[in-house]
Amino acid sequence: MEHFHTNPELNYLTNGHSLRSWLLTEDHKRIAMLYLMSVTFFFFIGGLAAAGVRYELMSPAGNMMESETYNKLFTAHGTVMVFLFLLVAIPAVLGNFLLPLMIGARDLAFPRLNLLSWYLYMAAGTCITLAMLGGGADTGWTFYTPYSSMYSNSNVSLTLLGVFLGGFSSITTGMNFVVTTHKMRAPGMTWFRLPLFVWGHYATGVIMLLGTPVVAITLLCVIFERTFQLPIYSPELGGDPVLFQHMFWFYSHPAVYIMILPAFGVISEIMTAFSRKRVFGYHMIAFSSLAIAFLGFLVWGHHMFVSSQSMYQSVIFSLITFLLAVPSAIKVWNWTATMYKGNVVLSGPMIYGIGFQGLFLVGGLTGPFLASYGNDVHLSATYFVVAHFHYVMVGGSIMGFLAGLHFWWPKMTGRLYNDTIAKWNAMLVFVGFNLTFFPQFIVGWMGMPRRYHYYYFAPEFTPYHILSTMGSSILGIGFAVPAFYLIHSLFKGEKAGDNPWNAHGLEWNTSSPPPTENFRYKVIVTDDVYDYDPVAEHENDMLAAGGKA
Amino acid sequence: MNWNLFNYPMNPPSASNFAAEHDALFYAIVGQALFFGLLTFALILWFAVKFKKGSKADRSSPQYENARMEFWWVLIPTLLGLATFFWSTKLFVDMRTPPKNAKEIFVVGKQWMWHVQHPDGVRENNTLHVPVDTDIKITMISQDVIHAFYIPAFRVQFMTVPGRYTQMWFRPTRVGKYHLFCNMYCGTQHSEMGGSVIVMSKRDYADWLAQHGQVRENLTAAQTGEKLFNKIGCGNCHGAQDLIPRGPSLRGLFGTTRETGDGRRWVADESYIRESIMRPAEKVTKGYGVTMPSYDKTFSEEDIMNLIAYIKAGAGQSIPTSTIAAAMPGIEVRDATGKAGLNSNEMQFKSERADATPTRRGKAPAVGALAVEKGDQQ
């Protein structure tokens, strides 16, 4: 594919129709499409598991399954959603597709590694799926030792192997992002002309590179201990069970920033494009991404306030966790200020984006409850924590993914979907989501521990679980509907044209869908990032309105 | 602060000394979160409507950077966060610092039950009886995987880790029955590994001890430890004086500073003693060789706790009385034969005494059957 002169009639989708041209492609856009199909599939699997968990919890004594099945179900939900969806969705789909387009490059720095990362991801998905089909693992997605290494009689090793392979997929993706951002920018694309989406993915790539090897070796050690009785974590063999928690969270806390930083990037793009105004405090948002990436590595101990780590350790971790709240707050307020004196267009992606902000606000503002360890002693590992991280992961990461998918769908496919349905669906997801997870704050505050199958000894928790299950049904519909109207748009949608949103950015300067080589001309960047003019636009609007009158 | 929407409880009961301050901190953060959350989301919605494309709002002189504004909205959350941090630190340090004279209760967690041992020998499973208005220190350990001992009404929880003692303390303030949960996922019946904490008046608690003390041998933990000490023959090496080169004496050892051959120093606390029993070669006292065998597979956690209680009591030739029980109001000291010398009036036990074990497993296995259980697990 080294020829620079493809037929102008062809775009990346029509340039080759054979299965081979898809499975051996080195085109970042096709790889993003492969990823899109696979993450959607796994999201469906994880969602089914979540539905099973929620319906089982409707009654205090359960009525669908045994405890063992329930445990395997929430483990499947957690493992699939975290390792096969959240860590992958925005970076590997939107990031892969857009990063080269946004910086004016022909492709990522290592196209073959990019293809390898998808195969590794599929191998990971295969391992985890096989483990589930063969009876499942029952350790929870956190795989705490010594239960996972010495006591569990389920398919832990195969699941861990899957996660291990998924880690390599993550590393290659991260390396690609970092190197591409450094080396592949078009002439004139300076660091401060980079879209914030690129900044977010750059920070994400750094986290993937530095963190993932740690969790890979940690989980490999669990496999070794299970298989060869190597004394690492089990005190019976002379190991240290809390060591696992340290090493696991050293990666898995930064991992939540792998899930949310790309979503920040997406929302930054959407807020500026639909406010028709340059984003407020560009430098602050860019640097807050880097600050989050850096500080994210220094807070892993806040998962372990009640796990026998020393009191002084907890003090440090609590303090840094509070500091970490600041960059997140900066971003939300900057987005708010971006809308001020803009020309806000309330399109489908924008409603998803505003929904993201509402949910992420709740998720972020419930962080301090858990960061202040005086409270965390009571709230740790209760449904309060479950609600908090679902607000951030689902309300943040998945809303961000949906917002980005709607925003760039015309660019990816060249088709327009029905914007009205998208708007209503965004509101439906928002309502269903709040109904699902807000009651869990209350029930967690009342002391309901997470990962509980039965609670017949505490019937006062029942109404909140019923509310939550009702909400999850609405949420399920809200997540299913986009699949229908987006697929419908592929066949019946209007042609989108190069720039349907009238947005500013290199990716909108090429055709939709883009050609295989991304740009049919030599890219030289001369204008500033987000070069909107809200005042002139407003005057034009007024003139148009006056002209009509 | 109880906005009752459905006539259902929305708060956990408050029954310990930590509850009031904990809830004050909680609601202070609720206030912060509501203020910032509602303010920000209201602004977002307001701007979305007011500056909707084509509306007649004033859009002159838009700003894209404003260092002063950015400075303020970095500073304000930082200061609020720091204030919250200091308050929560004070609370946390209180929670993690047990008072010196607290009544000590031992807890062993294992799949899937809590084994509780009161200092004067009374034992119970999945239920914890405590006297009201008394400082209680819980020293706990796990027999197998990580569990967490969680009492929502007291706002306390801590993990029990295999191979390591953890501690927490509280002072119950309201008589009643409260939930006890395991809060760290530990396997199939994780959700049923719990029961009740029953807070009783001091009087009732004394009666309860008197009645339950008959269930097993009427020995204090230290006395049980002494029996074991003699049965195993620890005294052959750990005698009344240091026996060089066989072993140092354990008399008055607890709480002293020990020095190993390579000059490192350790305080002889519970964890040190436990490690010295399980892995004697780790920290060999100066002047002795590695002669002691490991008792790793010999003792259950409960045995070790009893041995520690014995060593704590001085490891003399006979234990006078449990000092902790002596400190309990309403309880007379027992004599060395182990007969309870409680106040003679046979008061009926009045507090609600349902056996709150929620499990469907029927009888829990005896503590001695651990090796068998482990064999089943692997």
Interface test with B, best of A339, A354, A391, A441 (most B CBs within 10 A): A339
| DSSP strand pairing (B136-142 vs B156-160) | unpaired
Enter the tokens of residue A385: 């924590």
- What DSSP string runs through B238-289? S-SS-BTTTB---TT-TT-EEEBTTS-EEE--HHHHHHHHH-TTSSPBTT--
B219 pLDDT above the threshold of 80: no
Is the pLDDT at B375 greater than 70? The verdict is no
CA-wise closest residue to A266 among A127, A120, A150, A99:
A99
pLDDT over 80 (residue B216): no
pLDDT computed for residue B325 by the predictor: 36
Q: Tokens in use for A480?
A: 């299913």
Of the ranges A131-135, B301-305, B345-349, the best mean pLDDT one: A131-135
For position B366, what pLDDT does the model report?
A: 36
Tell how far CA A513 is from the center of its chain.
Answer: 24
Tally of CB atoms within 10 A around B300: 17
How is residue A169 written in tokens?
């997929």
Asked if residue B345 has pLDDT above 50, the reply is: no
**Residue (of A256, A204, A253, A255) closest to A393 by Cα position:** A256
A427 or B258: which carries more pLDDT confidence?
A: A427
What is chain A's Cα-based Rg?
A: 23
Tokens of B177: 């029955």
Q: Can you give the pLDDT at residue B242? A: 78
The mean of the pLDDT values for chain B is 78
d(CA A70, CA A49) in angstroms, rounded, equals 9
Residue A403 CA to residue A263 CA, distance in Å, equals 9
Average pLDDT over residues B286-306: 83
Which residue in A241, A337, A372 is closest to B146 by CB distance? A241
Terminal-residue alpha carbon distance, chain A: 55
Element (H, E) at B136: strand B136-142
* Cβ–Cβ gap A342/B47 under 8 Å: yes
Calculate how close chain A gets to B155, using CA atoms only, in Å: 5
Given this model, what pLDDT does residue B217 score? 55
Contact A329 B33 (CB under 8 A): no
Give the residue from chain A lying closest to B179, CA to CA.
A458
Pick the residue of A75, A377, A382 with the most B CBs within 10 A to test the interface with B by mutation: A377
Whether B337 shows a pLDDT value over 90: the answer reads no
Report the alpha-carbon angle A47-A48-A54, nearest 5: 85
> Starting at the edge strand that comes first in sequence, how are the strands of the sheet with B166-170 ordered?
B123-125, B113-117, B103-110, B136-142, B166-170
Q: Mind telling me how many Å the CA of A319 is from chain B's nearest CA?
A: 7
Quick one: angle between helices A419-445 and A348-365, nearest 10? 10
Asked if A279 and A272 touch (Cβ cutoff 8 Å), the reply is: yes
pTM recorded for the entire structure: 0.84
Which chain B residue's Cα is nearest to A365?
Answer: B33
Rounded alpha-carbon distances, angstroms, from residue A242 to A31, A306, B96, B277, B296: 39, 11, 18, 21, 20
Chain A neighbors of B25, CB-CB under 8 A? 372, 374-375
Residues B235 and B216: beta-carbon distance below 8 Å: no
What residue type is A206 in one-letter code?
A: V
CA distance linking residue B19 with residue A234, whole number of Å: 35
What is the number of helices (H) and of strands (E) in chain B? 8, 12
How far, rounded to the nearest angstrom, does the alpha carbon of residue A214 sit from its chain's CA centroid?
Answer: 20
Least Cα separation, residue B125 to chain A (angstroms): 16
CB proximity A372 to B under 8 Å: yes
Q: How confident is the model at residue B322 (pLDDT cuts 50, 70, 90)?
A: very low
User: pLDDT digits over B115-172, tens only?
Assistant: 999 888 888 889 999 999 999 999 999 999 999 999 999 999 999 999 899 999 999 9
Task: Say whether B13 sits in a helix, a strand or coil.
Answer: coil
Q: What is the pLDDT of residue B62?
A: 82
CB atoms within 10 A of CB B255: 9
Higher pLDDT among residues B313 and B108, named by residue = B108
Do the beta carbons of residue B125 and residue B364 sit within 8 Å?
yes
Q: Which pLDDT score is estimated for A544? A: 82
pLDDT tens digits, chain A, 549 residues: what are they? 444 555 667 888 888 888 899 999 999 999 999 999 999 999 999 999 999 999 999 999 888 899 999 999 999 999 999 999 999 999 999 999 999 999 999 999 999 999 999 999 999 999 999 999 998 899 999 999 899 999 998 999 999 999 999 999 999 999 999 999 999 999 999 999 999 999 999 999 999 999 999 999 999 999 999 999 999 999 988 899 999 999 999 999 999 999 999 999 999 999 999 999 999 999 999 999 999 999 999 999 999 999 988 899 999 999 999 999 889 989 999 999 999 988 999 999 999 999 999 999 999 999 999 999 999 999 999 999 999 999 999 999 999 999 999 999 999 999 999 999 999 999 999 999 999 999 999 999 999 999 999 999 998 999 999 999 999 999 999 999 999 999 999 999 899 889 999 999 999 999 989 999 899 888 998 888 888 888 888 888 888 877 554
Contact by Cβ (8 Å): B225, B327: no
Identify the pLDDT of residue B353: 29
* pLDDT reported for residue A380: 93
Phi (first) and psi of residue B140, to 5 degrees: -135, 160
pLDDT of residue B326: 36
A196-228 and A96-103 helices cross at what angle (nearest 10)?
A: 140
| Band (B286; pLDDT cuts 50, 70, 90) | confident
B296 CA to centre of own chain:
23
